[in-house]
Structure 1
Amino acid sequence: MSQSTESTTESNPFTRPGFIVAAAMVVALVAVGIVIFLLPKGQSSAEPAPASSSTVTASPSASSDGGKSICGLPGSAETTLGTAPQSKWELVGRIATPTDPKTFGPGESDSSGFRTCFAHSPTGALYAAMNIVALGSSGSTDLEQKLADKLLVPGAGRDAAMRQAAADSRTTGSSTPIQVRGFLIKSYTPGEANIDLAFETDKGALGRTTLSMRWMDGDWKVKPADDGTTYMGATQIRDLSGLILWSGV
């Protein structure tokens, strides 16, 4: 089992120790045959909540603290997102990722596929979080270094992430394909957002993790832990209860 775990760690960017790490850590364990449910005591296995067909009703406007997108995307005074946005999806690496360059982002993309500039709104924060996850799954050292440099909040965590990205020469993508299945914006202000994302592996295992986002320099960035980890509280879940269903595949 240790040999299998080591092999998965080598090939799966979500499971290696770097700023790409912990998002699918528990899910990856399932992929190598270690099934451990880390459910809080008393949590039920209720059926997943039905997907909503409603769209976000927020109209573009100046954000409440005056922050402007670096590429001119419209902001919103909304502070909640209670339904799934109607999203267009495209593959980034092997992960279906939302895209709306004129409204929510990414508003900018370079020749390497690096994607930046998201709207100053709850939906913009959600799109930014999902795109960062997808970029991190690509296995590209160049993209990992750009992520650490451009899309992490400066500090000890970003410094650690940049060191880890520079030291990591592997370019193989994830051997355990995952796709987003749902989200929950746990909190949102014009300056900070905490976003839960749920993923499913190709084997049907579900995992949930949190990204802590900060609005700075005209874009959403991830606040990493001091060790460079961008994802917090990764756990395996039984179903999608409590989440808003949202998926591109």
Structure 2
Amino acid sequence: MFSRSRRWAEEPEPYWKQRSWQWSAGFLAVVLVLGGIVALTSGRDTGADPVRASESGPLSGDTALRDGRPSGCSTDDSGGDALPEAPPEDIRWRTLGVTRVPFSASAGPVRTTGDLHWCFARTPLGAVLAAHVIPSQMSGSGWRDVTEQQVVAGAGRDMFVFQRSTVQDIDSGERTGDTAVASYAGFTVTSYRRTTANVKLLLRTTQGYSATTIALRWSGGDWKVVPGGDGSLHSPVTAVQGNTSGYTLWGD
């Protein structure tokens, strides 16, 4: 009986109570969530599609493409495949959820439809902006529409939806006492092709710098986040030791 009790004690906590999941879920808006996780519901919604269908959305599967882009989406792609060496001059910062993210009139997001910020340049810089903006839209109440249109469909997206459904929504301007906010400090494009990109984001927190990678795919005429099989929208967050060489810094 003693051994059984000890075996129970060694069993891991449910994922939504683990610090690693709280950190991962919080990063949806570059927020390190230390609390505010709500309990799972009784599960009466079995059999329902976890993502609300959005047939009229600009990035929906049935949306007609013009010149390879959704209607009304036009960007400056003249930079080609050249990796960015500096931030674009037209960067402006906006608040999404509880963090500030970069917007560019030339690289995107050029269009806004409800909670959806979309239409990124088909360039490495466009992928960089998408890697910042798309995950940062996930903390607010419109995250289901964003997921349906800006996250690549599959088992990973379904897992993300299941996990995200257990986290309280935090919309722009809201702040809870147990939420600490990190900020975007810089980026580097670790790989790029016309159809795929990997962008490493540099984060600044009160403990120093950390980094994580976002995988993206060109799909339906725009950049979309490729989730991992475990439902994560980014790689594990790791501490950055030493200086920040190798990253393009956003500046203050």
TM-score (norm 2): 0.67
- How far apart are the structure 2 equivalents of 1:117 and 1:14? 30
Q: Which has the higher contact order (CA 8 A, sep 6+)?
A: 1
1:15 aligns with 2:29: no
Gap runs ≥5 in structure 2: 1-12, 36-66
Kept in 1, the 8 Å contact 2:200–2:211? The answer is yes
Kindly provide the amino acid, as one letter, of the partner of residue 124 in structure 1: G
Q: Identical aligned pairs, as a percentage?
A: 27
CA distance 1:212–1:181, shift in 2 (3 Å): same
1:100 aligns with 2:98: no
Runs of 4+ aligned structure 1 residues displaced above 4 Å come to: 20-25
- How far apart are the structure 1 equivalents of 2:100 and 2:162? 28
Structure of higher CA gyration radius: 2
How many Å apart are 1:107 and its aligned residue? 1.8
- Deviation string, structure 1 residues 187-239 (Cα, Å, up to 9, x no partner): 111101000001112x2521100001100101100111112101013201133
Kindly provide the amino acid, as one letter, of the partner of residue 108 in structure 2: G
**How does 1:209-224 map onto structure 2 within 5 Å?**
209-224=212-227
How many Å apart are 1:97 and its aligned residue? 1.4
- How far apart are the structure 2 equivalents of 1:162 and 1:133? 13
- How far apart are the structure 2 equivalents of 1:135 and 1:13? 21
- How far apart are the structure 1 equivalents of 2:127 and 2:245? 22
1:188 aligns with 2:192: yes
- How far apart are the structure 1 equivalents of 2:108 and 2:235? 24
How many Å apart are 1:143 and its aligned residue? 2.4
What secondary structure is seen at the aligned counterpart in 2 of 1:132?
helix
Kept in 1, the 8 Å contact 2:30–2:136? The answer is no
Partner of 1:124: 126
How many Å apart are 1:16 and its aligned residue? 5.4
Kept in 2, the 8 Å contact 1:207–1:235? The answer is yes
Partner of 1:146: 145
- How far apart are the structure 1 equivalents of 2:152 and 2:145? 13
1:226 aligns with 2:226: no
Partner of 2:168: 170
The CA RMSD over aligned residues, in Å, is: 3.2
Partner of 1:114: 116
Kept in 1, the 8 Å contact 2:28–2:136? The answer is no
TM-score (norm 1): 0.67
Kindly provide the amino acid, as one letter, of the partner of residue 74 in structure 1: D
- How far apart are the structure 2 equivalents of 1:83 and 1:16? 29
CA distance 1:164–1:80, shift in 2 (3 Å): same
Q: Which moved more, 1:221-230 or 1:234-243?
A: 234-243
Gap runs ≥5 in structure 1: 1-5, 33-65
Kept in 2, the 8 Å contact 1:69–1:120? The answer is no
Kept in 2, the 8 Å contact 1:22–1:234? The answer is no
**How does 1:5-44 map onto structure 2 within 5 Å?**
15=22, 28=32
How many Å apart are 1:241 and its aligned residue? 2.5
Aligned length: 196
